[in-house]
Chains A and B, each alone.
Chain A
Amino acid sequence: MNKKNQRPVFLNLTKISLPVTGVVSIFHRLSGLFLALSIPLLIYLFDLSLRSAQGFSEAQQLLQLPLLKLLLTVGAWALAHHLVAGIRFLLIDLDIGVLKTAARRSAWITHGLTTLILLLAIVVIWL
């Protein structure tokens, strides 16, 4: 690909200072990937819980396992981030918050809201 394009590439990850809007963007991808990879587990639990009364209680017991609670916590962060950042991207598509200052502010709000939802989820899942 792109044989003519010989621009230097600077990809030293420790030296790139990604702006906060870029962090939202890459987290949107990472959270999306995590959510996609967790679909089999979600469907497994959905199928099991709807199969029979016994399957329902088995699914309930599985959800009490520490490993599943941990996955659920990461999933809560991923879902919260994906939804909040997704709403932000939809607003940008509607020409709301496109300029640099507004985009940076909404990026910080995204991280703030996501952290808040994560804390709530931790309380609900672990306490």
Chain B
Amino acid sequence: MRWGLGGFRPWLFQRVSAVYMLGFLLFFMLAIFACPPSDYQAWQAWFAHPVMWMATAIFFVSLFLHVWIGLRDVILDYLHSVPVRLVVLVGLGIFLISLILWVFKALFTVVLL
């Protein structure tokens, strides 16, 4: 059965998001080790910087789409019953949408504080 879920676009997005997240994580870990944020002010200032704020927002959007494509493929590989697939995929969707709302709440707190 074709669900219209496969194809070139998710395949490509999975790779583009992987490369972006790899770059962001390497930069973030280097920054953490090079100059660890000593207190709240320093930590808050990191994410309040427009470039870092944007890079972090793009990281989380990439992460959620990467998780959606990745787990969706895993679910379709191991669960074969259509109703079970539907329930699990809807559950995954709700899980990811709640998380993205939560992370943007945190990100907007940084700039609005």
Contacts and interface: CB of A to CB of B under 8 A. Distances in A.
The DSSP consensus for interface residues of chain A is helix
Interface of A: 1, 29, 32-33, 36, 39-40, 43, 46-47, 49-53, 55-57, 79, 83, 86-87, 90, 93
Contacts of B15: 90, 93
Contact of A39 (B25, B41, B70, B99): B99
10 contacts: A1-B80, A32-B70, A33-B74, A36-B71, A47-B102, A53-B40, A55-B40, A56-B44, A83-B22, A87-B22
B57 interface: no
B46 to A, nearest CB: 9
Contacts, number: 57
A14 B95 CA distance: 34
Contacts of B18: 86, 90
The 8 closest A-B pairs by CB, nearest first: A47-B106, A56-B40, A53-B40, A36-B67, A43-B103, A32-B70, A50-B110, A43-B102
Interface in B55-106: 63, 67, 70-71, 74, 80, 99, 102-103, 105-106
Contacts of A90: 15, 18-19
A39 B47 CA distance: 18
B20 interface: no
B32 to A, nearest CB: 10
Given A39-B99, A47-B105, A83-B25, 9 more contacts: A1-B1, A39-B63, A43-B103, A43-B106, A49-B40, A53-B39, A53-B41, A56-B43, A79-B25
